[in-house]
Amino acid sequence: MRVVVIGGSGHIGTYLIPRLVDAGHDVVAVSRGKREPYTPHAAWRRVEQVTADRTAEEADGSFGGRVAELGGDVVIDLICFTEASARHLAQALAGRVRQFLHCGTIWVHGPSTRVPTTEDRPRRPIAEYGRQKAAIEAYLLDRAHRDGFPATVIHPGHITGPGWVPVNPAGNVNPAVFQTLADGGELALPNLGMETVQHVHADDVARLFMDAMASPAAARGESFHSVAATAVTLRGYAEAVAGWFGREARLTYLPWEQWRGTVTEDDARVTYDHIAHSPHCSMEKAARLLGHRPRHTALEAVSEAVDRLVAAGRIVAAT
């Protein structure tokens, strides 16, 4: 099939584009043209590259039509962040595609209540990103059920993999946290370190998109989580990272208001977003309907990213 991927050079696209090419699809990657894939792959030489400024083209009303004219049997949208943007594209593609896949987020759920959280739990997002993604999901699935628009929504957790800094055991993305654990230094965690994070390897997200494409009837009108099979506590995560460097984690715990004063305002904001949600989502639905199971545990996914940071000299391991 001819597959159009919007935002193809980012985290997920780095793995998804080569998988699509290797599966024999004719692939078009639409992006701003400002980023290389995190990991080079020969498959990119067989990809049609289209440069587009989505924001500007949506503003003048041309983006949806331009994507539709690319003639994709399948369109995968990895970078849609507002309901208005989703409506614009879906309206242009109605009746012109066999399948439309949108990348959402587990943030649509808001804070975990009953765990593991399943896809049918109420949407109670607590931040603007989650609210917008929940509105997109509601719109697309309503279109799918009401008039047959072939939409599927994939909700990743904390995407990670080689080439970027993963959410760390303090719940933010400051690589100094990994360095502290590598050095055997003392690391303060907020509260009791029992909040959770739930990473997913970017390649497992790519595989879920592929599995949804392979089972369009089962995927149409549905949303699916894409996370590692289990979540990890900040405390357990920190202990595991220290162990990778042959250290024993030296952890202390501070009440939130005290802990936030020990880090930058940006780090505190990112940490609060993660611990306020403390996700623990289920992968049962993807297994049942699509036969999909993630290949990486949360810690395996993070370890690949940390290994790349060590190789790049961004984390220094003791010799």
Distances (CA, A) of 85 to 57, 81, 90, 110: 11, 7, 9, 22
Distances (CA, A) of 184 to 170, 191, 305, 316: 15, 21, 20, 12
pLDDT in tens, the chain (319 residues): 999 999 988 899 999 999 999 999 999 999 987 667 777 788 889 999 999 999 999 999 999 999 999 999 999 999 999 999 999 999 999 999 999 999 999 999 999 999 999 999 999 999 999 999 999 999 999 999 999 999 999 999 999 999 999 999 999 999 999 999 999 999 999 999 999 999 999 999 999 999 999 999 999 999 999 999 999 999 999 999 999 999 999 999 999 999 999 999 999 999 999 999 999 999 999 999 999 999 999 999 999 999 999 999 999 998 6
- Under CATH, domain 2-159+199-226 is a member of which superfamily? NAD(P)-binding Rossmann-like Domain (3.40.50.720)
Q: Is 33 left (phi over 0), alpha (psi -120 to 50) or beta?
A: left
> Are 80 and 86 within 8 A, CB to CB?
yes
Separation between Cα atoms, residue 230 and residue 238, nearest integer Å: 16
